[in-house]
Each structure stands twice: as C-alpha cells, then as structure tokens.
C-alpha cells in the first residue's frame, strides 16, 4: 500500500503521482510536459520518470515536477529505479506500451492504481512475426494490469478493449501550446524567408516532413513520391527533419536517384521549418495523434497525410488524406496543392477550424484528474 499522502499548505492531502515515459516520443513527451504543468497548478505532486534526454528537451522540472532519471526501456535497471520512484505514489500513470509494462512490474505486489495512456499502436512488420506475437502479449498484459486505459483515438480504445482492458476510454489530448511563440507579421515573413534560404529553397516549393528515420515511418513512400515529383518545374524540395538508423540507406537512395530531398537531421526548430513550408507531408501509417499533423493544422500549413489508424479522426476534413503506402496518390496530392493556391487556402481554414475543435490543455488535465480522483478518492 502507498503511504498516506502528506497534507498540502491548506491542510488537504496532496495527491502524489508518478508519470512514466519510455523512449519519450515527441507526442507522449509533450503531453506529459503539458499534463505536468496542469496537475502541479492544481496542487498535485508530480514525479516524472524519464531519460535525461527527455528532461533536457521538454523541461519537466521547469513545469514543476520532480524529474527522476530512468534509463531507456532496454536497461534492466529501469524497473528497479521505478520501484523506488513509486514507493510513496498514490497513483502511477504510464505513457506507452513499454513504459506501462515496466510500471506494472515495478508495482507488482502493491495496491497502487495504474493508469495507462496509449498514444499510438506499437508497430511490428508483418502479421505473423515473433515480434507481432510478443507485442500482442505485452498489450494484453498491460491492458489487464491497468485500472484505466486511455486511448488517444477510438481505434486504440477498441484495441485496448480487445486486449482485455477492464476500463478503456477515449483520452482528451490537447495540442500543447508552443513554449516559445513564433514571430508574427513582418518578422514572421523575415524568419520564413531566412529559413527557406538556409534550406536552399528560395525559388521553388518547400515540402516538409518530420519523423525519426526508421523503417516503419514511411520515408520510403516519401522518396517514391519525391521521385514522381521530379517532373515538375520547378522541382519542389522535400526536407525531412529527424534522425535514425535508416539515414544511410535513405541518403544512398537520394543520391542514386538524384532526388530533391534533404535529410535535415534532428532539429530543435521544427516549428520554424514548418512555418516556412508550402505543404507538410506525413507518410507514417501508425500515428494516432501525430505531433506533425497537429502542429501543421495549428500553423495553418496544408497537410497531406495517410488515412491510417486515428488520422481521419484527428484531422477531419482539415487535411488531404491518401491511402496508406500509396506513393503515387501522395505525389498527386502534393502536386495538386502546390498548383492550386485556392485549395491550399481552403485547407488552411479547415485545418485551423479542426485544430480549434481539439481539447484544450485545461480539458485534458481535467479529464485525467477526474480519472485520478475516481481511483484514489481524492477530491
């Protein structure tokens, strides 16, 4: 059992929570940062267990949390570190499959409620691989260990129920406000022109993609689409921000085929890059609440994305959707938008309207806090 919570300055018990991050994807990390700030503002004590790299990038301590460095998911010391972190917790909230698995192991034998948020489905190539079966087994274990599973899209809620979750609900997940607002007016135009010049994209369209360079992110589809766009005049430049193990293979292909593609590496100015773009593209087939999709709609940048998983639910009619893995359709959609300023303007308006319909940060925190109250009896 957890120890009784210490009283707050007003004599009321203080709810003590532990937020657990695994590898710390952009979507889950920014969500935890936003959630932390909201919970702390409401008098909740928050400990964030995450790798040091995530703390440096997202600043959980700046948001009022205590940050406890926990090794990445492959390190056997991570479960031991989590057991210590959860010693006095009233509730533990894990984000993602592997974080949830480690949290459930750390809580073994303790009567501490576990809340799990599934931000996206786990990925395994093929339908009959050993990894597929392992992931299904892990999903079952995590779904059944959790008091409540929050899914960021309806398909993830259905998936959790199919895996045996006792209680699965659709999560209210906001798009966190940028920590540093972008410039406006003339300064914004200067910044945009400067960014385009740095990318070597002054006199041609700029198409922007963001995502780690891993096989399942759909970058091969992006390169196929870039090949199809070579016939345009001028040829648009596709910039991919992100780093990962597929970089050498992608670079070899770019050079061999003479593609107008630049691998920009890991960038801390993605918002500026996106604001400089004419079109944003998302070829990944497994992101339920893609940070790129959310940022593009908020920034009024026309988006072309795959129609897989929770994407249609997220973007509505605020983006141009194409079949998953269909490079010709992706290329046609990009080409069509670049040739049609009116269509781009319409998509900007629809995207902004769709973004305005998403939950606010306050609504997100309120939903999570109501779940915490249900499970712990705090009010």
Contacts of 342 (CB under 8 A, 6+ apart): none
Q: Is-contact 293 282, C-beta < 8 A?
A: yes
Q: Which numeric CATH code is attached to 16-174+359-376?
A: 3.40.50.2000
Give CA–CA dist 318/349, Å, rounded. Answer: 8
- DSSP letter for 24, please: -
Q: Is-contact 183 276, C-beta < 8 A?
A: no
Count the neighbouring beta carbons within 10 Å of the beta carbon of residue 139: 23
Give pLDDT tens digits for 85-130: 999 999 999 998 889 999 999 999 899 999 999 987 765 555 557 7
Q: Where are the alpha helices (DSSP H) in 146-269?
A: 154-162, 185-198, 219-228, 247-257
Q: Is-contact 315 297, C-beta < 8 A?
A: yes
Q: Is-contact 276 311, C-beta < 8 A?
A: no
Which segments of the chain belong to CATH 3.40.50.2000?
A: 16-174+359-376, 185-356
Q: For 185-356, give the CATH class.
A: alpha beta
pLDDT at residue 77, rounded to an integer: 78
One DSSP character per residue, 261-312 reads EEEEES-S-HHHHHHH-SEEEE--SS-SS-HHHHHHHHTT--EEEE--TTHH
Tokens of 265: 């590496």
- DSSP letter for 124, please: -
Contacts of 5 (CB under 8 A, 6+ apart): 13, 14, 15, 16, 90, 378
Give pLDDT tens digits for 319-336: 999 999 999 999 999 999
Tokens of 41: 């503002």
Contacts of 109 (CB under 8 A, 6+ apart): none
pLDDT at residue 1, rounded to an integer: 40
Give CA–CA dist 27/95, Å, rounded. Answer: 10
pLDDT at residue 123, rounded to an integer: 59
Contacts of 319 (CB under 8 A, 6+ apart): 293, 296, 297, 302, 303, 304, 305, 311, 347, 351
Give pLDDT tens digits for 272-282: 899 999 999 99
Give CA–CA dist 269/113, Å, rounded. Answer: 38
Q: In 3D, which of 270, 263, 273 has the Cα closest to residue 192?
A: 273
pLDDT at residue 73, rounded to an integer: 62
Q: Is-contact 329 322, C-beta < 8 A?
A: yes
Type and span of the H or E element at 322: strand 320-322
Cα distances (angstroms) measured from residue 81 to each of 78, 84, 106, 108: 5, 5, 8, 14
Tokens of 187: 């300064």
pLDDT at residue 45, rounded to an integer: 96
Tokens of 354: 């769709």
Give pLDDT tens digits for 281-295: 999 877 767 888 988
The pTM is what? Answer: 0.84
Counting as low any pLDDT under 70, the low residues of the chain are 1-12, 23-25, 73-75, 122-128, 177-183, 288, 379
Q: In 3D, which of 215, 223, 222, 270 has the Cα closest to residue 242?
A: 270
Give CA–CA dist 20/48, Å, rounded. Answer: 6
pLDDT at residue 9, rounded to an integer: 47
Instruction: Report the C-alpha dihedral over residues 270, 121, 358, 205, rounded to 10 degrees.
Output: 40
Q: Is-contact 56 64, C-beta < 8 A?
A: no
């Amino acid at each position: 059992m957890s120890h009784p919570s210490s009283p707050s300055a007003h004599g009321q018990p203080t709810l003590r929570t532990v937020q657990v991050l695994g590898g710390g994807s952009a979507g889950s990390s920014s969500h935890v940062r936003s959630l932390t700030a909201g919970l702390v503002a409401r008098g909740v004590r928050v400990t964030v267990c995450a790798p040091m790299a995530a703390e440096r990038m997202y600043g959980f301590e700046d948001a009022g949390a205590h940050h406890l460095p926990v090794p990445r998911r492959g390190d056997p010391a991570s479960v031991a570190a989590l057991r210590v972190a959860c010693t006095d917790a009233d509730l533990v909230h894990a984000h993602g499959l592997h974080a949830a698995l480690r949290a459930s192991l750390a809580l073994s034998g303790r009567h501490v409620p576990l809340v799990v948020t599934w931000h996206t489905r786990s990925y395994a190539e093929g339908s009959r691989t050993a990894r597929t079966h392992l992931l299904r087994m892990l999903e079952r274990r995590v779904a059944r260990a959790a008091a409540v599973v929050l899914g960021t899209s309806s398909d993830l809620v259905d998936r959790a129920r199919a895996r045996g979750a006792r209680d699965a609900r659709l999560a209210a997940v906001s798009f966190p406000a940028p920590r540093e607002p972008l410039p406006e007016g003339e300064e914004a135009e200067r910044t945009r022109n400067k960014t385009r010049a740095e990318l070597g994209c002054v006199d041609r369209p700029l198409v922007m993609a963001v995502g780690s360079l891993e096989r399942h992110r759909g970058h091969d589809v992006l390169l196929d689409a870039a090949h199809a766009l070579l016939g345009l005049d001028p040829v648009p430049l596709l910039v991919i921000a992100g780093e990962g193990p597929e970089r050498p293979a992608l670079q070899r292909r770019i050079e061999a085929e003479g593609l107008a593609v630049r691998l920009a590496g890991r960038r801390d100015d993605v918002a500026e890059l996106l604001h400089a773009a004419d079109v944003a593209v998302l070829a990944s087939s497994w992101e339920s609440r893609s940070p790129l999709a959310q940022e593009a709609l908020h920034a009024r940048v026309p988006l072309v994305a795959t129609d897989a998983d929770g994407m249609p639910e997220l973007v509505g009619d605020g983006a141009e959707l194409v079949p998953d893995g269909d490079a010709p359709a992706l290329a046609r959609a990009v080409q069509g938008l670049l040739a049609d300023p009116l269509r781009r303007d319409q998509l900007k308006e629809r995207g902004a309207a769709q973004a305005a319909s998403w939950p606010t940060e306050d609504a997100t925190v309120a939903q999570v806090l109501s779940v915490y109250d249900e499970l712990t009896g705090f009010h």
